[in-house]
Amino acid sequence: MSEVVTAEIQTTHIIDLARSGHRLDGRGIDEWRPVTVEPGYVKSADGSALVHVGATVVLCGVKLEIGKPFPDTPNAGVLTTNAELIALSSPTFEPGPPQPEAIELSRVVDRSIRAAETIDLTQLCVTPGEKCWTCFVDIHCLDHSGNLIDAAQLAALGALTHATMPAKRFGVGERDYPLDVKHFPIECTFVRLGDKIVVDPTFEEETAGQGRLTVATDEAGNVVAMQKGKIGAFSPGEVVETVERAFRHGDRLRNLVRGT
Amino acid sequence: MGSVGAKDVPELLNAEGRRIDGRRLDELRPISMKVGPLTRADGSAFVEWGENKVMAAVYGPREVHPRHLMQTSKAIVQCRYNMAAFSVDERKRPGQDRRSQEISKVITEAFESVIFTEEFPKTSIDIYIEVLQANAGTRCAGLVAASLALADAGIPMADLVASVAVGKVAGRIALDLKKEEDNFGEADMPLALVPQSGRLVLIQMEGHMSQDELRQSLDLGVKGCRDIYERMRQALRSRYDVAAGAAPSEAAA
Amino acid sequence: MGNGQGPRHRGRDRGARAPRSEPKVLVLPGDEIPDRGLQPGFGTYRVGRRLFASVMGYATWREPFVRIVPFAGRYVPKPHDVIVGVVQDVQKTFWLLDIDASRWAPLHVSGTPWEPAPGELEQYLRVGDAVLVAVENLDPTGKIGVTMQGEDLGKLSGGTLVSISPAKIPRVIGKGGSMIHTITRLTGTRVAVGQNGRIWVEGPADGIQRVRECLRIIEEEGQRSGLTERIEGFLEMTGPTDETGPRAPGPEPVDRNEPRRFDDEAPSSTDDPAPADRPTIPPNENNEGEGPWEA
């Protein structure tokens, strides 16, 4: 189903509201919607988390299997991230293989996890050059009400943080043990509405948005990944200011993911 | 299906007639149904059935994409059944495999038998079923969820469609097989019933059954479907905060 | 269900309006309904002599039809409905409008006050423009003909659009327009209510927000009693707006004495009063109604 064109007056209205610091749902420019992270939602996965960001719902399942390491990294395990923007979750998604939006989302979430060294991939090595753990991070969008990137990344981190290595089942250990998560990157997405840059955009705000910026930060004060999307531009000063905001939100959201 | 010489075949039926999870032969697994959980879809439902977790959404009737599929005299029904990669023990590659495509087809045909498609020419009614966690009977759970989602979307149909699988376990006919029973039992038969007409719109079977066993299975399956049907009606009424009230015919006087 | 021998599904009513006299009954698809000698209307179908519901909603028996008032479903166009559309595509001699129904509706040049040359339509209406149009005809192949020829129809400028379920529109308007009049009066806004569940709202920003909130309350709690009190309470609590703000140009409000345009067969209320207390829907001739415009 292709995108239905939104009325221009709606887009103009959203931008006008932002000009005076208001948003359609009454939030402030720097305010997130309510977020919940429910780990262990899916028992068939080795780790999972169901995340709600306002009305947006994303589910992530982590599965760990024994496989072969890549030839150029014989001492490391494999991490692979895949996001499905399924047609069930929005009238704007079509069934079929991942479209550019899904591919970008997969890669942006993957980048934050990898760059922050969330998992030490060498710890996933079993026998160098022969056997290693492959960690599959599968993200399933269930209800698209905006800001899928952040919701997906929270779900991925939530799933990893509460994952168990199925060592016994694969015969590489006596007992199962928790996946060792070393760092906790959190992504935070903003869109431009006129001269304001608002955090955690809803679907309508994304449609009206004139540029999107995602910033991933870790618990040690590092910026670990960034991605600019949509049609629009940001000044370097705006980028610096946005990164600062991303740290504040990241700290708060990190507690939510870890605390459960 | 059947014995493959596996070393750990569980005891599927004990001396007291209890199954591997303690149920009797004609007992359903615990089920909960929620109507309308999604905000973007025209209609939606979430079903937890035993350890199955299945979500369904309906969009439409809406313009057909791709256009060449359009039919001038009626709506087309496109149902897509899919399993999430993490829904099964061994991670499943994303994308539709042949099994999913076949299930999509039989479910589409089940609904085409009840939806009044001629009311919406040149449109498409799209049904999406996602299995988030699987433990046998996912196509039945999916069909039930989709049925509720269609009602939630206001799509005109002859009736809700209720579905359950019946099978043969340790030589006995059993209702609503779970994973181990499906893997190590002797037959599996998913069914879907339109209670208003008393007819079946989905019938699949695999395994070994005598004709008598088949008759027994159909009886048990239809009974199971009617049970599911009542729960579906309850779930729909709860959506609108209405206690189960008098049937319309009682209000006639 | 496509063959001639299957049960016939009734999709559309035709017929006079009359006061309602029966309480409503909740039905689900597949429920049998007594016809009480009335003809099958929307949301019902026959098998032999028996009548069944095909959608979830309230069954109503009002001469000459027994019909279902559905809880859900996309907007079903009826001739003379005034609706809000958004231009999706521009062709040589017509525009295609999204009207939140099961199909897009073509607006032909002949249905507008303009006379552009073929290929010049973009100068009058562009993709993304919002318009107020009326449903003219529905042909058997499902095509929805709309027109912009009409005193208060035309392009909508300024303001914004809010969507709610079409089933709730009668409650948004209220008896004789009372609900929408209360809302606009206490928020200082101007609205155009589309039968397709799309409402154009214009005025000061906080007024628009309060209208939005009222519509949300109606959508979520519309079937419960005491709705008018809830809305008035909310509006009084959040205070009248003292900003008037500039008014955007747009079609002029309709003459109040014009007959109402919205669906007369929809129930006027889903509150619970006993049948004897429930007011009847005034027939067209009384001229009590409001058009889609309210300010």
CB contact under 8 A, C128 and A7: yes
Residue A2 in domain = no
Residue B6 in domain = no
Residue B18 in domain = no
Q: What are the DSSP E strand ranges found in chain A?
A: 35-39, 47-53, 56-67, 78-84, 125-127, 131-143, 164-165, 177-178, 186-193, 196-199, 212-217, 223-229
Residue C75 in domain = no
Is the Cβ–Cβ distance between A58 and A164 less than 8 Å? Answer: no
Does the pLDDT value for residue B26 go beyond 60? yes
Residue B184 in domain = yes
CB atoms within 10 A of CB A49: 29
Structural tokens at position A107: 């890669």
Q: Which of A43, A61, A142 sits opposite B85 (nearest CB)?
A: A61
Residue C179 in domain = yes
**Closest alpha carbon within chain C to B250:** C34
Sequence letter at residue C265 = E
Residue C13 in domain = yes
Contacts of B236 in chain C (CB under 8 A): 28, 56
C198 and C254, same domain (yes or no): yes
C143 and C164, same domain (yes or no): no
pLDDT tens-digit profile of B88-145? 999 999 999 999 999 999 999 999 999 999 999 999 999 999 999 999 999 999 999 9
Tens-digit pLDDT string for chain C (295 aa): 334 445 555 555 444 444 455 566 999 999 999 989 999 999 999 999 999 999 999 999 998 999 999 989 999 999 999 999 999 999 999 999 999 999 999 999 999 999 998 889 999 999 999 999 999 988 877 889 999 999 899 999 999 999 999 988 999 999 999 999 999 999 999 999 999 999 999 999 999 999 999 999 998 887 677 888 888 888 888 775 544 444 344 443 333 333 333 333 333 333 333 333 223 223 233 333 345 665 5
Domain that holds residue A128: 15-259
Q: What is the mean pLDDT of chain B?
A: 92
Identify which of C2, C57, C99, C135 has the alpha carbon closest to the alpha carbon of residue B119. C2
Residue B7 in domain = no
Q: What share of chain C is helix, strand, coil (3-state, %, to 5)?
A: 20, 25, 55
* Residue that terminates a domain, selected from C129, C156, C183: C156
DSSP string, A96-147: SSPPHHHHHHHHHHHHHHHHTTSS-GGGGEEETTTEEEEEEEEEEEEE-SS-
Alpha-carbon gap: B69 to the closest alpha carbon of chain A (Å): 13
**Closest alpha carbon within chain C to B73:** C141
Contacts of B128 in chain A (CB under 8 A): 86-88, 95
CB contact under 8 A, A13 and C160: yes
C95 and C175, same domain (yes or no): no
pLDDT at residue C10, rounded to an integer: 56
**Closest alpha carbon within chain A to B80:** A95
Residue B74 in domain = yes
Does the pLDDT value for residue A41 go beyond 70? yes
* Residue that terminates a domain, selected from C91, C121, C156: C156
Domains identified in chain C, total number:
3
Q: Which of C36, C54, C55 sits opposite B252 (nearest CB)?
A: C36
Contacts of B245 in chain C (CB under 8 A): 25-26
The CATH number that applies at residue A87 is: 3.30.230.70
Lowest-confidence range among A87-96, A188-197, C89-98, C264-273?
C264-273
DSSP annotation of C111: G
**Per-residue confidence band for B35, with pLDDT thresholds at 50, 70 and 90:** very high
Cβ neighbours for A194, distance < 8 A, ≥ 6 positions apart = A15, A16, A18, A19, A210
Residue C144 in domain = yes
CB atoms within 10 A of CB A174: 7
CB atoms within 10 A of CB C239: 10
C22 and C130, same domain (yes or no): no
Give the 3-state secondary structure of residue B77: strand
CA angle A19, A24, A26 (to 5 degrees): 90
C150 and C170, same domain (yes or no): no
CB contact under 8 A, C98 and A20: no
The CATH number that applies at residue B167 is: 3.30.230.70
User: What's the 3-state SS for B217-253?
Assistant: HHHHHHHHHHHHHHHHHHHHHHHCCCCCCCCHHHHCC
What Å distances lie between residue C153 and A10, C108, C131, C162, C188, CA to CA?
19, 14, 8, 18, 22
Residue A211 in domain = yes
Cβ neighbours for B71, distance < 8 A, ≥ 6 positions apart = B121, B122
**Per-residue confidence band for A171, with pLDDT thresholds at 50, 70 and 90:** very high
Is the Cβ–Cβ distance between C218 and C231 less than 8 Å? Answer: yes
**Closest alpha carbon within chain A to B134:** A44
Domains identified in chain B, total number:
1
Contacts of C36 in chain B (CB under 8 A): 252
* Longest CA–CA separation in chain C, Å: 64
C41 and C142, same domain (yes or no): no
Euclidean distance between the first and the last CA atom of chain C, given in angstroms as a whole number? 47
pLDDT at residue C233, rounded to an integer: 86
Cα separation, C100 vs B62, in Å, equals 9
Residue B19 in domain = no
Is the Cβ–Cβ distance between C56 and C241 less than 8 Å? Answer: no
Residues A190-215, mean pLDDT to the nearest whole number? 97
Structural tokens at position A9: 């007056």
The CATH number that applies at residue C22 is: 2.40.50.100
pLDDT tens-digit profile of B148-200? 999 999 999 999 999 999 999 999 999 999 999 999 999 999 999 999 999 99
What Å distances lie between residue C106 and C134, C143, C155, CA to CA?
12, 8, 15
Is the Cβ–Cβ distance between B58 and B127 less than 8 Å? Answer: yes
Contacts of A4 in chain C (CB under 8 A): 86, 88, 98
Interior/surface letters C107-117, b for 16+ CB within 10 angstroms, e for the rest? bebebbeeeee
Cα separation, A161 vs A155, in Å, equals 10
DSSP annotation of C101: B
Within 201-240 of C, beta carbons closer than 8 Å to A belong to 205, 208-209, 212
Is the Cβ–Cβ distance between A247 and A221 less than 8 Å? Answer: yes
Residue A9 in domain = no
Helix spans in chain C (H): 169-173, 178-187, 205-221, 227-237
Domains identified in chain A, total number:
1
pLDDT at residue A64, rounded to an integer: 97
Cα separation, B36 vs B45, in Å, equals 5
The CATH number that applies at residue C133 is: 2.40.50.140
Structural tokens at position B133: 């966690």
* CA-derived radius of gyration, chain C: 20
Residues A204-216, mean pLDDT to the nearest whole number? 97
Domain that holds residue B81: 31-239
Residue A7 in domain = no
Q: B38 — contact with chain A (CB < 8 Å)?
A: yes
Q: B246 — contact with chain C (CB < 8 Å)?
A: yes
Domain that holds residue C19: 9-70
CB contact under 8 A, C55 and B42: no
pLDDT at residue A155, rounded to an integer: 98
Torsion sign, CA atoms A234, A240, A246, A248: negative
Alpha-carbon gap: C252 to the closest alpha carbon of chain B (Å): 33
Does the pLDDT value for residue B42 go beyond 50? yes
pLDDT at residue C257, rounded to an integer: 35
Residue A5 in domain = no
Burial of B210 (0-12, 13-18, 19+ CB in 10 A): exposed
